[in-house]
Amino acid sequence: MTTVAAMTNGRRGMRGALRALVLSLAVAASPLGVVAALAKAGLENEKEIMNRILLGSITNELFTKCDRIAPRRIKAFFYVIGTFNMARRLGYSQEDIDRLRNDPAQQERLQRETDAWLRAHGVVPGKPETYCRAGFAEIRKKSEIGSYLKPE
Beta-strand runs (E) in the chain: 69-71, 149-151
Residue 29, pLDDT score: 39
Residue 41, pLDDT score: 67
Cα 144 vs. chain centroid, distance in angstroms? 13
Residue 22, pLDDT score: 52
Residue 44, pLDDT score: 85
Query: Under DSSP, is residue 28 helix (H, G, I), strand (E, B) or coil?
Result: helix
Spatial distance between the Cα atoms of 24 and 8, rounded to a whole number of angstroms: 18
Spatial distance between the Cα atoms of 136 and 130, rounded to a whole number of angstroms: 10
Per-residue pLDDT of 25-45, as tens digits, reads 444 333 433 333 334 568 888
Residue 94, pLDDT score: 87
Is residue 123 a contact partner of residue 136, using CB atoms and an 8 Å limit?
A: no
For the chain, residues with pLDDT lower than 70 are 1-41
Spatial distance between the Cα atoms of 66 and 15, rounded to a whole number of angstroms: 12
In 3D, which of 139, 132, 68 has the Cα closest to residue 148? 139
Residue 30, pLDDT score: 38
Is residue 69 a contact partner of residue 152, using CB atoms and an 8 Å limit?
A: yes
Task: For the full predicted model, state whether its pTM sits above 0.75.
Answer: no
The residues that bridge with 151 in the sheet, in sequence order, are: 69
